[in-house]
Structure 1
Amino acid sequence: MEFSALLAQLLNGLAEASSLFLVAAGLSLIFGVTRIVNFAHGSFYMLGLYVAYSTVEYLVGRLGPAGFWVGLVVAPVAVGAFGALVEIVLLRRIYKAPELFQLLGTFALVLVINDATLYLWGPEELLGRRAPGLAGSISLLGRQFPTYNLFLMVIGPLVLGLVWLLLARTRWGVLVRAATEDRQMLGALGVNQAWLFTAVFALGALLAGLGGAVQLPREPANLALDLRSIGDAFVVVVVGGMGSLPGAYLAALLIAEIKALCVGIGSVHVLGLDFSLSKLTLVVEFLVMAVVLVVRPWGLLGKPQAGSRNSAPAEAPLRPAGNGLRWVALVVFVALAALPLLQTWLPYASVLAQDVLVSVLFAVSLHFIMGPGGLHSFGHAAYFGLGAYGAGILLKVLTLPMPLAFTFAPLVAGLGALLFGWFCVRLSGVYLAMLTLAFSQIVWSVVFQWEAVTGGSNGLTGVWPAAWLGDTAYYYLTLVLVAASVLLVRRIVFSPFGYALRAARDSALRADAIGIDVMRVRWAAFVVAGLFAGLAGALFVFSKGGVSPDVMAVGKSVDGLVMVLLGGIQQLVGPLLGASVFSVLQDSIMRATDYWRAVFGGVILLLVLVFPHGIAGFFQGLGNAWARLAARKPALLPREKRA
């Protein structure tokens, strides 16, 4: 490749690094002070682009070319004000909720904002105007380089310098840094933390809006920007080090330049084989994140953390189900078994029930490592997808009989969990969650691009059960396997291995001191969860007759998180309730309105506010309150003694 072309790509990488940094800087600030993993941060980026489009179109007609630059200033300010409103109305109400429920609340906000954007701007992509004075290009070593990219190359370091001055040279910045280190002490000194949090959240949203606004001449505004940008922002923040703005810029620069090199080089010839580096652009940031977290778990410029600054309250010990709950489970099982007999009156019920059963098993497998294991995963869909694709490839490519393909599919997922889990269990918290996301995206990229085996973006079709499993037989197979799997997981939780896993969750140091191999126990739990997720994937692919890469995309992992958190992470019945409610709500709302995301997100927000410990936790709290009330009520004496 010519040197001039490579240099042009590297300069484009500098412009892309500034764009990545702007959205990541706000996310880093918000997490550092409020400790909220703000999943809606990508929505602020998307809003910045949409608001900039409308503002520029309005102002250019009245102010001329100057309206473009005024619009680029007004849009992020408007997004910052909206972020402050979100913090005041919603986030203040969930600061004391468990961290994962805060994540659930911000994810619901993503759904609401996405449909609100759809309603206001429509489904079509909107391409903005060229920047006045920067619309052309300059000649650089015989190559044409966009002039606007020079502006982007400057704005990233400029914003970094301004934010650094704000944090290092102002009293407000001192308070922000103090809140990052010790919020409790800051409150004891009389500082109004509520308004400090609001100001930080508004600044973070403003930076995300600025990151979207400056993309107006380069990228059309579309509804997919929210989830795409939040993934990139999380990667940059984690690679750079949580809370480190210089680290965020360094990470953005590293990732953007590696992407530029992959595009510039195109392909390499090694050992007689051609390898396309340009295809790595889909996953290169996750490869970088995986390598950095394995070598330096706290990021490039981050600091090791001895433990969480905000210790969660001690969890009540898990107890086996009582007789009442067992009878309820038996009644539910019998009702599900009777559904196919009611096809004349409820033709769709058994289809929906089969989807719910698959979702239940997927949620139970994720809950096993998140609840008893205390291991947060943002990439659990990888094992669901490995089970689904494993069954499809074994059946269609290797031509194994359906029973054998179905049997070996969970083992494929288990092998994936065995490999990835070895790296993942060495981390904790956000870093663990992001490493699981990185491995999930790597698997998704392989499946998406290995067209000869996986079918690429088209996926695999014609993956149907054997003839003897036709009609309702496959439904009953799903019912029996899911019920058996749920019972087996419960048995594992109350086995010595389960107690060791919970001991490692509650206090790894004490568990290690009494002879428990914490890493090995967590690794084994990862494999067990992967096996059950793979079984769910195998049941899914044969029920649908095919599979596509969407089953292991980020959205599927988020669905699993929502199911677990919605039901309640501290109760074993939580994932069953959460998966059932999630699947039924999603199905009914999607068929009822085009704006189902907003309605669904509103329902989740309501559940988060009303049930901060999940649906199962809410009902358990009611039961405990009733039991305490009954214990305090004096026993009625016989009539003759009362007289």
Structure 2
Amino acid sequence: MAFYFVQFLTGLASAASLFLVASGLSIIFGVTRIVNFAHGAFYMLGAYVAFTLTARFSGALGFWGGILAASLIVAAIGVVVEMLLLRRIYHVPELFQLLATFGLTLMVEDLVVLTWGPNDLVGPRAPGLRGALDFFGQKIPSYDLFLIVLGPAVLGLLWLVFQRTRWGVLVRAATQDRDMVAALGVNQKWLFTSVFALGVFLAALAGALQIPRDAANHAMDLRVIVDVFVVVVIGGLGSVVGAFVAAVLVSELNAFGILIFPKISIILVFLVMAVVLIVRPWGLLGRAEAPARRTPGLAVHPWRILTSNERIAAAVALLLAASLPLFAGNYALNVGAEIAIFVIFAASLHFLMSAGGLASFGHAAYFGLGAYGVAFAAKLAGLPMIAALLLGPVLGLLGAAVFGFFAVQLSGVYFAMLTLAFAQIVWSIAFQWVDLTGGDNGILGVWPEHWAASPSHFYWLSLAVAALVVGALRIAMFSPFGFALRATRDSPLRGEAIGINGKRIQWTAFVIAGLAAGIGGALFAYLKGSVFPDVLGIPLSVDALVMVLLGGVETVSGAIVGAIVYKALSIWLVSQTEWSKLVLGGFIVLVVVAFPKGIVGTVEAIWHRRPSSVKAALLASKVETAE
């Protein structure tokens, strides 16, 4: 009994740190509506800065002074980020803000390694809290007891700030209706800055307080951000009390899941998140909100056959791509095949986002299911390559059919978070079901047959499949089904009034996108010769979002260009510099700030402005001639 009580207290100690990070993210989202992917980066910075101040400048500041100073320093960095970056993109859709904060995360990861090195850093113990208390033979660290008290204390302070101060009233009002707050004359810029500073301070404080318990490392940002998203969604976006309740729930599930349900311990948290979103989409203590700005997508316009110039340009581009094996080496061909596969992956998500307005945060689930489907067919069933390529993507289709049925019942950020929960459930199963998937060791030896074994042959196969899949998605996008899907995206009530079953249309689109992603995953398994749980992970889902938004979600060919640019740049930077994340993250931030419509969207906007300028020039020349 004592052991379980100590385990419960350990869960409460973890809940305190998780609550600090989650409450900061919840406050920021509640007011600014930014899904701040960089929140984990500020948590990591808090740990590293606190290590420096407590381990190397302990004489001047002391341990607790170093913790507080580190939190304030990182909060000041957050203010600079908000003023220089986020203020410029508050008006753009939430997904582009997510893309910018993802780029910022990449930059911070490399900056941390550049400043503190790649090794884990163990911080000093808290003075006066280095021992442990004995409880019926079980030891409880004194520092854990301190954290258990700290969590409710911070919750109480936040409650007082939001309930008893004018600033807190403004924050609560902005959470409900920020446009009305602006209409009353409140300076939104400084309100957003102060809220962002408080949220970053809480995240940095959580990271700083972790150094006596865990070593600071450059992977802790992505590790914590997943749990934080889960806590915020379960508790309710914008609810600090909900974040506290959810943090306790998640931490205790993590603490006891490994004891009671060891084979599904990782899945438990995401199962709870999925159930909460299905039953109560706005979280346990959140409030139903008005629909957010819709995801930008393609405008509804009739099907237009490609003009002769466009057909020629497409044919030339495809022929140039097909001629790559004539002059490129094996490495370039492998890179080309990988880019073609990710074109399929990005195009599948682009179809869902552009025509359907559905931004999935867990699209890698269907890419990974396609890869595992091929591995099962080839290794377990012993099927030939063609049969495996045909049957493997069906697993992605089935996963999309099951998960999509529940996901399309929601919209906006809740839809995105439910897709994230489902993707993490699939990843957890692949990671823990060792007998079937091999767990972290993966499934090895998934090699193509002799007819596709050479780099040139596999490249041509990947290019041909990519062309077919992209063409099929384009036809679907501009078919009557595509028009119905866009009508549901733009006005569900009007669509329903004219007889369109919106949920069924969206579910069908989800299944189509899942099948297309599964085809890409099937080819990816043969390209790499193995399948690991990483193909189902959050980083790959984020890559897909980056590729779509980078190319331009409001364009037809944005996913193709985005995938080519992002993958080619990623692979090239890794081979050219040790700081590839820093350069790539900076490039992403630059594109979001300077070209919010994406690469293709910006080019099209410039091109569409060109005829008017040409006409003006011609008119001017005529006037000069007449004179």
* Residue 545 in structure 1 maps to residue 529 in structure 2: yes
Call closer, same or farther: CA 1:323–1:247 in 2, change over 3 Å: farther
- Which residue pairs with 2:27 in the alignment? 29
Structure 1 residue 287, shift from structure 2 partner = 1.5
Name which of 92, 100, 104 aligns with 1:105.
Answer: 100
- Which residue pairs with 1:270 in the alignment? none
Q: Which amino acid aligns with 2:8?
A: L
* Residue 467 in structure 1 maps to residue 462 in structure 2: no
Stretch moving more, 278-287 or 463-472: 278-287
TM-score under structure 1 length normalisation: 0.94
- Which residue pairs with 2:363 in the alignment? 380
* Structure 1 residues 289-300: aligned runs within 5 Å: 289-300=273-284
Secondary structure of 1:214's match? helix
* Residue 304 in structure 1 maps to residue 288 in structure 2: yes
- Which residue pairs with 2:249 in the alignment? 254
Q: Which amino acid aligns with 1:583?
A: K
Name which of 123, 126, 129 aligns with 2:124.
Answer: 129
* Residue 181 in structure 1 maps to residue 176 in structure 2: yes
Q: Which amino acid aligns with 2:562?
A: G
Structure 1 residue 185, shift from structure 2 partner = 2.2
- Which residue pairs with 2:111 in the alignment? 116
Contact persistence 2:300–2:486 (CA under 8 A):
no
- Which residue pairs with 2:91 in the alignment? 96
Name which of 227, 239, 242 aligns with 1:244.
Answer: 239
Contact persistence 2:443–2:531 (CA under 8 A):
yes
- Which residue pairs with 1:274 in the alignment? none
After superposition, the C-alpha distances for 1:396-436 in whole angstroms (9 at most, x for unaligned) are 11212221111101111100100110110001111111111
Question: Matched residues in 2 for 1:637 and 1:548: separation?
Answer: 64
Contact persistence 2:298–2:556 (CA under 8 A):
no
Question: Matched residues in 2 for 1:229 and 1:546: separation?
Answer: 28
Q: Which amino acid aligns with 2:507?
A: W
After superposition, the C-alpha distances for 1:417-458 in whole angstroms (9 at most, x for unaligned) are 001101100011111111111111111111112222212111
Structure 1 residue 75, shift from structure 2 partner = 1.2
- Which residue pairs with 1:226 in the alignment? 221
- Which residue pairs with 2:352 in the alignment? 369
* Residue 211 in structure 1 maps to residue 194 in structure 2: no
Contact persistence 1:448–1:454 (CA under 8 A):
yes
Contact persistence 1:397–1:453 (CA under 8 A):
no
Stretch moving more, 530-539 or 90-99: 90-99
TM-score under structure 2 length normalisation: 0.96
Q: Which amino acid aligns with 1:246?
A: V
Secondary structure of 2:210's match? coil
Call closer, same or farther: CA 1:145–1:357 in 2, change over 3 Å: same
Secondary structure of 2:139's match? strand
- Which residue pairs with 1:272 in the alignment? none
Question: Matched residues in 1 for 2:194 and 2:525: separation?
Answer: 48
- Which residue pairs with 2:142 in the alignment? 147
Question: Matched residues in 2 for 1:323 and 1:627: separation?
Answer: 19
* Structure 1 residues 428-577: aligned runs within 5 Å: 428-471=411-454, 472-577=456-561
Structure 1 residue 385, shift from structure 2 partner = 0.4
Question: Matched residues in 2 for 1:312 and 1:444: separation?
Answer: 26
Contact persistence 1:138–1:146 (CA under 8 A):
yes
Secondary structure of 1:620's match? helix
Contact persistence 1:388–1:547 (CA under 8 A):
yes
Q: Which amino acid aligns with 1:7?
A: F
Contact persistence 1:563–1:582 (CA under 8 A):
yes
Over aligned residues, Cα RMSD in angstroms?
1.8
Q: Which amino acid aligns with 1:410?
A: P
List runs of 5+ in structure 2 lacking aligned partners. Answer: none
Structure 1 residue 610, shift from structure 2 partner = 1.5
Structure 1 residue 572, shift from structure 2 partner = 1.2
Q: Which amino acid aligns with 2:74?
A: V
After superposition, the C-alpha distances for 1:482-533 in whole angstroms (9 at most, x for unaligned) are 1011111000011111111101110111111111111111111110001000
Secondary structure of 1:535's match? helix
Contact persistence 2:295–2:357 (CA under 8 A):
no
* Residue 613 in structure 1 maps to residue 597 in structure 2: yes
Contact persistence 2:592–2:598 (CA under 8 A):
yes
Stretch moving more, 250-259 or 565-574: 250-259
Structure 1 residue 311, shift from structure 2 partner = 6.1
Question: Matched residues in 1 for 2:331 and 2:46: separation?
Answer: 42
- Which residue pairs with 2:48 in the alignment? 50
- Which residue pairs with 1:342 in the alignment? 327
Call closer, same or farther: CA 1:219–1:279 in 2, change over 3 Å: farther
Secondary structure of 2:418's match? helix
Give the share of equivalent positions with the same residue, in percent.
52
- Which residue pairs with 1:333 in the alignment? 318
After superposition, the C-alpha distances for 1:452-485 in whole angstroms (9 at most, x for unaligned) are 2212111111111122223232222211111011
After superposition, the C-alpha distances for 1:130-177 in whole angstroms (9 at most, x for unaligned) are 111111111123321111111111111111111111111111111212
Question: Matched residues in 2 for 1:633 and 1:25: separation?
Answer: 57
Structure 1 residue 324, shift from structure 2 partner = 3.1
After superposition, the C-alpha distances for 1:322-348 in whole angstroms (9 at most, x for unaligned) are 4433322211100111111113xx453
After superposition, the C-alpha distances for 1:61-103 in whole angstroms (9 at most, x for unaligned) are 446xxx1111111111111111101101111111122221111
* Structure 1 residues 54-65: aligned runs within 5 Å: 54-62=52-60
Contact persistence 1:377–1:436 (CA under 8 A):
yes
Structure 1 residue 642, shift from structure 2 partner = 2.9
Call closer, same or farther: CA 1:641–1:258 in 2, change over 3 Å: closer
* Residue 324 in structure 1 maps to residue 319 in structure 2: no
* Residue 167 in structure 1 maps to residue 162 in structure 2: yes
Structure 1 residue 624, shift from structure 2 partner = 1.7
Question: Matched residues in 1 for 2:617 and 2:625: separation?
Answer: 18
Structure 1 residue 305, shift from structure 2 partner = 2.0
